[in-house]
């Protein structure tokens, strides 16, 4: 009889052994208060040392929208489309959630090494806390986004409430990507250095500053790619819900939802498979 068999006979289990996926998710759910409090504390502490404090949560995307909107507005000329300032504000503010989820989620395990190695808890809690933190940060940004839209002449309407389910799907998508990035960074530390470059490329190629139908009207093949682009379609849905006289394809909801579900499931399983490795010293 092996040591493992002897241990099983007396109900003993290996320390740090990976639980079943169902138990893993159950254990994470039991720590939901810890996850929320950790996320909230990090939101509050992030800008404490800055003179303007929490105001930077909305100042940063505001400055980005002004800068990129001005530059690309001039470069695109007649291809900008109507209400371009609102178009850019929605794109920049919502993309910030995607970018922060990937960047912070990638460091959720490696950046909490002492916590991971000293306490027993499902490591899934850490990337979930990071995405939750970014979601909490998005809330005041969203309020300011609506204020900017009204200042720029957009009429408030009931369709704005459609942002709520859209953000739910968007959060699921970002969660799956954060889980994938978190595990990759554990195996390849240099990945965290490459990720900002990836998010920058995504910023310029995900329709944050342009409409594919207008800018790429002579390349129907590229438009077909954007029709199944999850970030692009998320932004298009948001613009269709918020802006006046801007339409989005209803099929975009199915595209974004399918991407979100698939990436979340893949990310969850991929992250869970390496649970036993996260607490090991390098």
CA distance 243 to 238: 8
SS3 78: helix
Q: Who contacts 200 (Cβ-Cβ below 8 Å, separation ≥6)?
A: none
Where do the H-state alpha helices sit in the chain? 3-9, 21-30, 32-46, 56-76, 84-106, 113-118, 125-151, 163-187, 191-205, 212-215, 220-226, 230-242, 251-273
User: What count of residues does the chain have?
Assistant: 282
Q: What is the percent of the chain where pLDDT is above 70?
A: 85
Q: Are 239 and 84 in contact (CB under 8 A)?
A: no
Q: Are 234 and 96 in contact (CB under 8 A)?
A: no
Q: Who contacts 239 (Cβ-Cβ below 8 Å, separation ≥6)?
A: 86, 87, 90, 91, 246, 248
CA distance 138 to 58: 9
Model confidence over 56-90: pLDDT tens digits?
Answer: 677 777 777 777 777 766 655 555 666 788 898 99
Q: Which has the closest alpha carbon to 87: 198, 248, 220?
A: 248
What's residue 199's pLDDT? 92
| Side-chain-facing half-sphere of 57: CA atoms under 13 Å | 24
pTM for this one?
0.87
SS3 222: helix
What's residue 254's pLDDT? 94
Flag residues of the chain having pLDDT under 50: 3-4, 6-7, 10, 12, 281
Model confidence over 106-136: pLDDT tens digits?
Answer: 999 888 887 787 777 888 999 999 999 999 9
What's residue 10's pLDDT? 46
Residue 207: left if φ>0, alpha if ψ -120 to 50, beta else—which one?
left
Q: Cα-flanking dihedrals φ and ψ of residue 76, to 5°?
A: -85, -20
Q: Are 101 and 177 in contact (CB under 8 A)?
A: yes
């Amino acid at each position: 009889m092996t040591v493992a068999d002897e241990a099983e006979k007396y109900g003993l289990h290996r320390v740090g052994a990976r639980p079943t996926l169902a138990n893993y998710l159950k254990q994470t759910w039991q720590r939901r208060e810890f996850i929320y409090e950790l996320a909230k504390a990090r939101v509050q502490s992030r800008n404490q040392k800055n003179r303007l404090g929490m105001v930077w949560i909305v100042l940063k995307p505001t400055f980005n929208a002004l800068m990129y909107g001005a530059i690309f507005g001039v470069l695109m000329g007649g291809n900008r489309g109507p209400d371009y300032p609102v178009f850019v504000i929605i794109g920049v503010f919502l993309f910030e959630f995607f970018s922060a989820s990937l960047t912070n989620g990638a460091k959720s395990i490696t950046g909490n090494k002492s916590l991971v190695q000293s306490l027993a808890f499902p490591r899934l809690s850490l990337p979930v806390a990071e995405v939750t933190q970014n979601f909490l940060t998005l809330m005041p940004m969203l309020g300011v986004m609506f204020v900017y839209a009204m200042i720029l002449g957009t009429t408030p309407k009931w369709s704005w409430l459609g942002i709520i389910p859209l953000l739910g799907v968007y959060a699921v998508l970002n969660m799956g990507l954060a889980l994938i990035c978190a595990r990759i960074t554990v195996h390849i530390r240099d990945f965290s250095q490459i990720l900002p470059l990836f998010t920058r490329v995504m910023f310029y190629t995900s329709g944050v500053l342009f409409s594919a139908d207008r800018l790429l009207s002579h390349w129907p093949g590229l438009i077909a790619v954007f029709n199944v682009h999850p970030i692009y379609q998320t932004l298009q849905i948001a613009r269709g819900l918020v802006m006046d006289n801007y339409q989005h394809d209803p099929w975009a909801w199915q595209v974004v939802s399918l991407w979100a579900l698939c990436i979340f499931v893949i990310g969850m399983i991929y992250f869970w498979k390496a649970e036993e490795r996260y607490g090991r010293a390098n």
